[in-house]
Structures are given as structure tokens and as C-alpha cells.
Amino acid sequence: MSTFADSTFTPPERIRNFCIIAHIDHGKSTLADRMLQLTGVVEERTMRDQYLDRMDIERERGITIKAQNVRLPWRLDGTDHVLHLIDTPGHVDFTYEVSRSLAACEGAILLVDAAQGIEAQTLANLYLAMENDLTIVPVLNKIDLPAADPDKYAAELAHIIGCEPEDVLRVSAKTGAGVRELLDEVVRQVPAPRGADDAPARAMIFDSVYDTYRGVITYVRVMDGRITPRERIRMMSTGATHELLEVGIISPDPKPCRGLGVGEVGYLITGVKDVRQSRVGDTVTSERKGATEPLGGYRDPKPMVYAGLYPLDGSDYPELREALDKLQLNDAALTYEPETSAALGFGFRCGFLGLLHLEITRDRLEREFGLDLISTAPNVVYRVVMEDDTEHVVTNPSDWPKGKIAEVHEPVVKTTIIAPSDFVGAIMELCQSRRGQLGGMDYLSEDRVELRYTLPLAEIVYDFFDTLKSRTRGYASLDYEEAGSQTADLVKVDILLQGEPVDAFSAIVHKDAAYGYGTKMASKLRELIPRQQFEVPIQAAVGSRIIARETIRALRKDVLAKCYGGDISRKRKLLEKQKEGKKRMKMVGRVEVPQEAFVAALATDESGEKKPRK
Amino acid sequence: MPSTLPPGDPAPPDGRLPSSALGGLGDRPFGIYVHVPFCAARCGYCDFNTYTPGELGSSASPESWLEGLRQELDLAVRVLGTPPPADTVFVGGGTPSLLGVNGLTAVLDTIRSTFGLASGAEVTTESNPESTSAEFFVGIRAAGYNRVSLGMQSAAPHVLRVLDRKHTPGRAVAAVREARAAGFGHVNLDLIYGTPGETENDLRASLDAVLSAGVDHVSAYALIVEEGTALARRVSRGELPAPDDDLLADRYELIDDTLGAAGLAWYEVSNWAASPAARCRHNLGYWLGGDWWGAGPGAHSHVGGVRWWNVKHPARYAALLADGVSPAAGRETLTDAERHEERVLLELRLVEGLPLSVLDDAGATEAELAARDGLLDPTAMAVGRCVLTRPGRLLADSLVRRLVP
């Protein structure tokens, strides 16, 4: 079946570019699926649920990590239109990617669960969309649910975006109810793109994905001019030029086309093998007679959180390196460099956009590459100024400088927390205990509150989100964005086993939290490290000052009394088995520490188990 | 369920040994172990190779076992060429006393007619107190046994119940006196400590009973909850608490103090004797790398660096021998590294300890550290021997791991 959307160079006035802003599990992917069906680009029988979410982890976690986009035909009042649905990433760590996706659109559907109301991330992305002057089409989803309260949440949305409650559309992405009307409204309300057709080409990269067969696939939105195959293009941030092997559209499978005109969205293939050569936010232009001014808004991806990743089995180190190499092909924000830990052996110091980015990366390394990993406690980027005016950038407690420190700068973030008003007290208590400063508080409706706090990023990356969830029975949602840095009274706490510091357990914490960290870690380790043939003191120290102490009592008996009636073989085999077990221990000085102790001590949650998959 | 046999190489059907193993045979002490695989009932903690009449049915009997034993000892003589006379004989089980005076006499007669006994040979039989009597001791003494080892385990009735032992507490002590009266110069009592429910006072009472019985040897074993036993199932179901190592260490110290004060000195981690002459020479053979032929179902042997073990089931054992085939189920020829490991593992358990020179450099360094940790005696170390201190005796297994890195 051929449609109006099959060929490109569509007049801009017939194009509508929009995205869907929604919280995890508020039904964004289901709505996108329904749109694919209603517009006829995917037939019912080939429909796979959540067609647009391609990665397993996304599917499992119910979140979208990498944006996809799709070109859809839609006829309204006898006129054919092309809709570009740009699917935005849905998590806090990917704010920058979200902002670039938004910049590719003129409108956004604000999709909110009619039984739950708006959540913090949605709100943050909504503000981002409003800052980008996007037209907002408010929609309540899941109106078929018995628990839905559309009137209440329509009022809430109207209050937030400044419209009338009647303007809020009501749909069920699951049943399809109201989705046609929604598409009609998108055409009516979202402005058509505008740009200069005769100007030098300028297209903004809003996503970049590595494909094993095709190399990097770059998703762009053309702002001015035309992009056509077989020409050479230039990446304006780096000046690098590439042959354009293919230009195409997604509908919903990739299809080569004659080129892309003003307002159109599609993909480019240049044969480059690494997404860092095709960066989100960058401007693509023609090599000959190209534009001189890039589009605004580009910035280099900057890691916010660092952690050491170590293979549980030291011999897996080359595999880990290979796996990171492969992941980086598809993840421009991931950085890593080799590091050595006395306790954990050879590994990599990895930089991430945030905690979710870390978790997803670790998950993928374990799942897709079959690696067992230990990750150290996440660390933010500190700037340490010494009394002699030298400066150190510290992303690892091991690099904490010795000597007299004048001041320490730590990154802070502005956070938005939305929760039922019953939990305001609990949330305030939590934020205060994490050195938060209240920036403001608004009632979104009678019983839902938005709290704004400025918090040190370091306080959030550890276990803040889990604690917030547990203290609000899962109701609170959280978003944050960078907000510069502040000076703080920070110290490095070392953990010593029998007087030997264990680098993997060192942490940079606020002076007031040092004692708490020290005692918690010491008592955790006392439980986790088996008794040795000698007494093992565990100490927490700031510099040379001991702030906490525990003792692992010496083991007293392990001898097997009998010799099994001359069965010496059995006894020797037992010894050999025990010696094998000993090889799997990490030696800290003379202390044998099982791998599991490191894993459990470094786990963030109480149980010491790995976090359950969300 | 009896414990499983180690994996190993197949043994040849004729039981032949490599000539390297036979060199020097007779220069080292030579022992014969006879395994009696019969018990009246199975005790809940025991994983030795033993069977009740109900389990065996008609597939095997003491008679078929004795016939097999004769055939195996004949085979042993063929395999060893010129067999040395036995310096020690140890009849264990199982419950050897179930064989009665006639059965035990037949066992010893068979050994005499095949290997012969060296002059001054130590001839031991294990016995369960409830299957002995004054006449029994007189009978086996007359047959040539000169040492008895009695399974007393505890003097506390509730402890014996947990262990499924059938005898009454007083019976073991009475049996010792009967054995002494029958002319046994060497009598051992076995104790098991750390049984769930055993209090410190229970153990004190057991030790008092042992001392009042007048033995010259005591073996005290911490209860091991062996996989697959009824006791293990009760522990895993939570009906009984698992023994606690710290508590076992306390109990061991109590035993060592009490026996020591009564003139019984430790000479092996779990064994105490009234004098060097009262030590069990047969067991010393195990610890000092001696040669012995283990006859009977599931018995283990060692000759010149080759270890082997027999099939476990009495019926299969008898059937193989009836066909003229060796009952060995598997064997291993020890490498130099394994012999080294075993030497450290075994000799370290003895009061004479291990020459420091046996250890490699890394092991010797660890030994020095262990002396500093209080696990090896610094005085002995100074003269080139690794001798366990009392804390060291309790940690011998992990210490061995350090000494043979």
C-alpha cells in the first residue's frame, strides 16, 4: 500500500513533527503502536507490542533509552499530511538527548496516566518542551481503567500548562479510543515546520545508533535546505566530512529515499563505525557550499558519575575491554579508562551520565556479554583546590590529594519531586539528611505536591532514589538537572583491614556523614568477611584519624577430627578443594576476602543483594 | 547412606601394583586393616560403610564376608610377593564385636595364615559396648587381640539418644573393666563431643566416666554432620542445631585440660595416650605414611605411594572375590606434589610435628608467620620442627592450606 508519506520533499506546511512526553509506563509506547496501526504503516497481524522499543532492557524496564522515529501518513479534511513521531528517551540521565529530540519538534503530546497524574520527569520534560516553544497537546491515557479519575487529572494538567480542563483529550491507547481524534488534533494544533528551502543545508542530529551491518545510523531533522544521497556532508562540531551513502525514512522500517527537505525527519548512513563521530546535537551540512553557522544547542556529552567496573574473574578483563569498546560504538556518553585496584585487580574507571546510565551499562555488560562484574560505589566529579592553589579533579577516591586542602567543589543538581502530599514530611526529612536545600513547593492539585530541592549530586547517586521510593511507598517521582557546583566540607574515608587500606571501599563523604559511613561499612564488613586464623581489626579513618572500629574475632576451630578410616585421599581432595576456594579470595594484606564480600559491601541496598530489575 | 568413594583411576582386575610401590615394602611398618561392614542398627550421625541385616537381606552375610576376606588376603599375598608380617592389625567397622569371639578369632587366624604377625604386633578390634561381655573379652584376648577400642561416645543418656546409640551410659565403663580383667593392656574409649544438646556438664561427666574406667587411650571426635545422614536431615529441618565451631573449640580445650591433668597427653589432634607405648601404632601408620592393606568392603589401602579402595557393597565385594577378581573399585598413584601435601597434612597432626625442612620456601615463610600467630610452637620452630600449639591444633586444616600454598 503506497501512501502520501512514502516519498519525501513534502511541502513543509503538510508536515507535523511531534513527540510524546510521558512517564515510564504511562503508555507512550502503546500509544505509538496504536498510531502505527491507525495510520496503516503497520498491519494488525504484524503488530508487535511496543514496536518502537527495540532493546530488551528497555522492554524489561519499561523505559525508552534510545529514541526512534517514524514517518506516518494522516489525512485530515481531505488533505494528506506527513506526521513525524519522534520518540524521546524517558529518563533523567538523558535530559540532553531529550532536549535535542524536542528541538526536532514543533509540538508535543503530554501523555499522562488518568489514574496517576503527572510525574516529576514528565513535568521536567514538559518544562523543557515549553522552553523550546513547543505546542503542547495535553492527553490523559488509560481512561478505560476503573481507577481512572480523568476529571481530577484534567484539572491538574490544565493548572500546570494553563489551559481549560475541557481542552485535555482523553484516550485509551490500549483500546484505541480517542487516538484518531488525537492525530487530528496534532495536525490542527501543532505548527508546520518553517525553514529556508534555498539556504545551505542544516540538519540537526537528534539520535545516533550503531548498527552491526550498516555502521552508524544518524537520525536528523532538516532545518534548512536539502540533504541528498551521494553528496559529502560535514559534521560542524568537528569539521569531519563523510560520504553520504544513504538517506532514508523510517516507516516503520528503514527505507532509502531521494533526500530530505525542510522540516523532514530521516536517517543518514555514512559508513562511520562509531557514534562519537556523529554526535547528538551536532549540525550536519553539505561539504560544498555548506552552512557557516551551526544550529544552536550542541554540547559534548559530559559524564556526571564515575564508577569502577571490575570483572569478578580477573581473567575476564580482556572480555570486559572488548565489551566496553562495543558498547561505546552506540553510546557517545560512555567513557572508560583502565584502572587498577589493589583489592579488585584490573578494571575500568567508567563515566556515565547518571545512575541509570550506569545501571543500564552494567546490565548490558552482564547480560549481552555474559560478564560478572563488581562495580565500586559511584563517584561524582570533585574539584579540589589546595592551599598552594593547585587544583585536582577527582573522579575516584584513590585520587583524593594528600596535603592541605583549601576547598572542595562538588556538583549540585536541581531536583523536582512529585508525590502525594501525605509524604511531604518524609521527603523533606530525607532531603535534609542529604544536605538538600528547599527551593520551593507547589500543590499541583489538592493532594499532590511538587517539591524543588537543590541537592549535591553525590547524595543522589548513591541510594537516594531507592530510599525516596521506599519512604513514599513508591509514589514519589524524581527528576534532576545539573545546577553548577558548591563548596562543601568533604573528606575521604578510608576503610582499613588489619591496618591496610582497601581502596575499593574508600569514599568521599561530607564531614558529618563520615562517622556514619565508617561505622556502617565496618560493621557490614565484619559480617561479610569470614573469620581468619588471626584477629582482624577493621577501621574507618579520615586521614590518620580512626573514626570507627570493629573486630573480626579469630577463627578458633576448623580441623576435622577424624581421618575416615584411612581414607586419606578424601582428606587430601578436601584440602585441594579448599585451596581452589582460596584462589578465588582476594588477599588484602594477609586477610582473605571473598569476592562476594566486595560485591555485597558495595551494593547500595540493605539486603546486599543486587537490585531487583525494575 | 555410607559416604561415597573418591574418584580415581580404575584398578587392574588382578590388583597388581607397580614395582615402584613394592620397593621398600617391609622397611616401613606394615599394617592390616579389616573392615567389618555390619551393624545391628544404623546410627544417625554415621556415614561409614556399614549395613544392617535389613539392608543386606540375603545378599551378604558374615559368612560370605569372611569367605571374601580370606580370598582378599590370599590375593594380597600374591600382589605383594613376599608379604611382610603384620606389625599392626586393626579390625574396625561397622561393629566387629557383632562377629562374636568365633568370628574375630577366624579373622585373626586368616591373617596369621597369610601374612603372619610380627612379634609384638599390636592387634586391635573395635567393639560396641552393648555387644560385648566379660566372656567376649576373655575369648578375643585368648585369640590374640591385645587392644580394644570401645565406642562410648558419651555418658549422657540424652546425648546417646541423639546419636542413636543403644547402650546405656554405664555399659562402656563396665566393658572397659571387663576388658582389663581379661588381660587387655591397651584399652581405648571413643568420645564424640559437640552433639546437639550436649552441655558442658554432660561432657565433664563423660570425661569423669572415661577416667574412672581406667583406659590408657582416648579418642575424642567433634561431631561432624555428614551429608546424607539422618542427623544432617534433622539439622537441615531445624530439629537440631548445627554444632558451633566456637563451642566445639571450648569443648576441645576442656577435654585436653581434663585428660592432660589425668596424665593422658595428646599425641594426635584427636588422640590422647597415657604413655608413648599406649599410642595406637596402627593409626600412627596412617599419619606417618606407612603401608597397610585394607581388606573388606570399602576399605582403603596404601602401599608405597599407591592408594586404592574397595567396592563398598558386601555382596559385590564377595562376588568379585568369588570370581577371583580384585575388589578394588579405584586407585590413585600419588604424584610427588600429592605426597608432599599428604605428608604435611598428616604429620602436622602429630605431637612430634613436621620437619620445617619438608616445607618449600613459601610454606616455611607461612610457618614463621603461623608461629607469630600462636599456631605453631616457637620453641620447636627454633629447632626446625613445626609443632601445633593448642590453638594450632584446632586450626590445623586451614594452617595446612597455608603451609602447602
Q: What are the DSSP E strand ranges found in B101-244? A: 117-127, 147-153, 186-193, 217-222
Instruction: Output the DSSP codes for A485-507.
Output: EEEE-EEEEEEEETTEE-GGG-E
CB contact under 8 A, A556 and B300: no
Quote the cell numbers at residue A11.
Answer: 511541502
Please name the residues in contact with B9: beta carbons below 8 A apart, sequence gap of 6 or more.
B330, B331, B332, B333
Asked if A378 and A305 count as a contact pair (C-beta separation under 8 A), the reply is yes
Strand A79-86 relative to strand A15-22, pairing: parallel
Task: Find chain B residues with C-beta within 8 A of A562's C-beta.
Answer: 221, 224, 270
Q: Please tell me the distance from the alpha carbon of residue B390 to that of residue B393, in angstroms, as a whole number.
A: 5
Place of cell 582416648: B218
**CB contact A571 to B (< 8 Å):** yes
pLDDT score, position A565? 66
Residue B98: name the closest of B65, B141, B57 by CA.
B65
Q: Please tell me the distance from the alpha carbon of residue B217 to that of residue B179, in angstroms, as a whole number.
A: 14
Task: Find chain B residues with C-beta within 8 A of A536's C-beta.
Answer: none
- Where do the H-state alpha helices sit in A508-609? 514-528, 568-583, 595-602
Q: Please tell me the distance from the alpha carbon of residue B88 to that of residue B109, in angstroms, as a whole number.
A: 14
More confident residue, A438 or A43: A438
Residue of B nearest to A563 (CA): B286
Which of B223, B338, B340, B397 has the highest number of chain A CBs within 10 A, making it the mutation to test binding with A? B397
> Cα angle vertex A276, ends A274, A281, to 5°?
135
B290 pairs with which residues across the strands? none
A477 pairs with which residues across the strands? A418
The pLDDT tens digits for A159-209 are 999 999 999 999 999 999 999 999 999 999 999 999 999 999 999 999 888
Q: Please tell me the distance from the alpha carbon of residue A365 to that of residue A363, in angstroms, as a whole number.
A: 5
Interfacial B residues in 350-369 facing A (CB < 8 Å): 369
Please tell me the distance in Å from A87's CA to the nearest CA on chain B.
54
**CB contact A443 to B (< 8 Å):** no
Residue of A nearest to B372 (CA): A534
**CB contact B254 to A (< 8 Å):** no
**CB contact B331 to A (< 8 Å):** no
Asked if B113 and B160 count as a contact pair (C-beta separation under 8 A), the reply is no
Q: Please tell me the distance from the alpha carbon of residue B332 to that of residue B328, in angstroms, as a whole number.
A: 11
CB contact under 8 A, A561 and B270: yes
- When CB atoms are compared, the residue of B35, B332, B397 closest to A569 is B332
Task: Find chain B residues with C-beta within 8 A of A556's C-beta.
Answer: 245-246, 249, 391, 394-395
pLDDT score, position A568? 87
Please tell me the distance in Å from A554's CA to the nearest CA on chain B.
10
| Torsion, CA B317, CA B320, CA B321, CA B326, rounded to 10 | -100
Highest average pLDDT, of A102-111, A301-310, B163-172, comes from A102-111
Domain A3-189 is classified in which CATH homologous superfamily?
P-loop containing nucleotide triphosphate hydrolases (3.40.50.300)
Strand A254-256 relative to strand A202-211, pairing: unpaired
Task: Find chain B residues with C-beta within 8 A of A577's C-beta.
Answer: none
The CATH number assigned to the domain with range A202-286 reads: 2.40.30.10
| Torsion, CA A111, CA A117, CA A119, CA A122, rounded to 10 | 20
Place of cell 523543557: A128
Per-residue pLDDT of chain B (405 residues; tens, 9 = 90+): 456 666 788 889 999 999 889 988 888 899 999 999 999 988 888 888 999 988 888 888 999 999 999 999 999 999 999 889 999 999 998 999 999 999 999 999 999 999 999 999 999 999 999 999 999 999 999 999 999 999 999 999 999 999 998 888 899 999 999 999 999 999 999 999 999 999 999 999 999 999 999 999 999 999 988 888 999 999 999 999 988 889 999 999 999 999 999 999 999 999 999 999 999 999 999 999 999 999 999 999 999 999 999 999 999 999 999 999 999 999 999 999 999 999 999 999 999 999 999 999 999 999 999 999 999 999 999 999 999 999 999 999 989 999 997
**CB contact A534 to B (< 8 Å):** yes
The counts of H helices and E strands in chain A are 14, 32
Q: Please tell me the distance from the alpha carbon of residue A223 to that of residue A195, in angstroms, as a whole number.
A: 6
Domain ranges of chain A: 3-189, 202-286, 305-375, 383-488, 491-607
Asked if A344 and A374 count as a contact pair (C-beta separation under 8 A), the reply is yes
SS3 content of chain B, % helix, strand, coil (to 5): 45, 20, 35
Q: Please tell me the distance from the alpha carbon of residue B38 to that of residue B126, in angstroms, as a whole number.
A: 12
- When CB atoms are compared, the residue of A557, A572, A573 closest to B248 is A557
**CB contact B211 to A (< 8 Å):** no
Mean pLDDT confidence for A377-396: 93
CB contact under 8 A, B309 and A569: yes
Inter-chain contacts counted by CB atoms under 8 A, chains A and B: 106
CB contact under 8 A, B307 and A570: no
3-state secondary structure of A256: strand
pTM of the complete model: 0.71
Task: Find chain A residues with C-beta within 8 A of B8's C-beta.
Answer: 569
Residue A171: name the closest of A202, A137, A201 by CA.
A137
User: What is the longest distance spanned by two Cα atoms in chain A?
Assistant: 96
Q: Please tell me the distance from the alpha carbon of residue B297 to that of residue B35, in angstroms, as a whole number.
A: 6
CB contact under 8 A, A558 and B395: yes
Please report which helix (H) or strand (E) contains residue B15, including its range: none
More confident residue, B328 or A230: B328
pLDDT score, position A92? 58
3-state secondary structure of A474: coil
* Amino acid at the residue A147: A
Quote the cell numbers at residue A259.
Answer: 533526500
Please name the residues in contact with A459: beta carbons below 8 A apart, sequence gap of 6 or more.
A434, A435, A436
Which of B3, B32, B245, B335 has the highest number of chain A CBs within 10 A, making it the mutation to test binding with A? B245
Residue of B nearest to A561 (CA): B221
Instruction: Output the DSSP codes for A345-364.
Output: EEEEEEEESSHHHHHHHHHH
pLDDT score, position A169? 96
Residue of B nearest to A562 (CA): B221
pLDDT score, position A564? 58
Residue A68 banded pLDDT, cuts 50, 70, 90 = low
Q: Please tell me the distance from the alpha carbon of residue A529 to that of residue A506, in angstroms, as a whole number.
A: 17
CB contact under 8 A, A559 and B3: no
Please name the residues in contact with A507: beta carbons below 8 A apart, sequence gap of 6 or more.
A377, A397, A492, A493, A517, A521
Mean pLDDT confidence for A223-245: 93
Residue A599 banded pLDDT, cuts 50, 70, 90 = confident
CB contact under 8 A, A569 and B307: yes
Residue A168: name the closest of A88, A114, A125 by CA.
A114
ipTM over 0.85: yes
**CB contact A569 to B (< 8 Å):** yes
Please tell me the distance in Å from A575's CA to the nearest CA on chain B.
7
Quote the cell numbers at residue B212.
Answer: 574412672
| Torsion, CA B48, CA B49, CA B54, CA B55, rounded to 10 | 120
Residue A610 banded pLDDT, cuts 50, 70, 90 = very low
A437 pairs with which residues across the strands? A454
- When CB atoms are compared, the residue of A556, A562, A571 closest to B245 is A556
Place of cell 580482556: A318
Task: Find chain A residues with C-beta within 8 A of B370's C-beta.
Answer: 533
Please tell me the distance in Å from A603's CA to the nearest CA on chain B.
29
CB contact under 8 A, B375 and A571: no
**CB contact A78 to B (< 8 Å):** no
**CB contact A572 to B (< 8 Å):** yes
Task: Find chain B residues with C-beta within 8 A of A590's C-beta.
Answer: 369
Fold assignment, A383-488: Alpha-Beta Plaits (3.30.70)
pLDDT score, position A280? 87
**CB contact A560 to B (< 8 Å):** yes
Please tell me the distance in Å from B344's CA to the nearest CA on chain A.
10
Is the link from the previous residue into B183 a cis peptide, with omega within 30 of 0? no
Q: Does domain A491-607 have CATH number 3.90.470.10?
A: no
Q: Please tell me the distance from the alpha carbon of residue A452 to that of residue A227, in angstroms, as a whole number.
A: 43
Does A100 have pLDDT greater than 70? yes
Residue A64 banded pLDDT, cuts 50, 70, 90 = very low
Angle between helices B245-261 and B200-213 (to 10 degrees): 30
A486 pairs with which residues across the strands? A410
Please name the residues in contact with A437: beta carbons below 8 A apart, sequence gap of 6 or more.
A453, A454, A455
Residue A63 banded pLDDT, cuts 50, 70, 90 = very low
CB contact under 8 A, A567 and B309: yes
Query: Which top CATH class is A305-375?
Result: alpha beta
Cβ burial, residue A23 (10 Å; 0-12/13-18/19+): buried
The pLDDT tens digits for A15-40 are 999 999 988 778 888 898 899 889 98
CB contact under 8 A, B399 and A533: yes
Which of A567, A580, A587, A591 has the highest number of chain B CBs within 10 A, making it the mutation to test binding with B? A567
Q: What are the DSSP E strand ranges found in B95-198? A: 117-127, 147-153, 186-193
Neighbour-count burial for B40-65, b at 16+ CB within 10 Å, e otherwise: eebbbbbbbbbbeeeebeeebbbebb
Quote the cell numbers at residue A246.
Answer: 544513504
**Do A305-375 and A491-607 have matching folds?**
yes
Q: Please tell me the distance from the alpha carbon of residue A566 to that of residue B307, in angstroms, as a whole number.
A: 10
**CB contact B239 to A (< 8 Å):** no
Please tell me the distance in Å from A608's CA to the nearest CA on chain B.
24
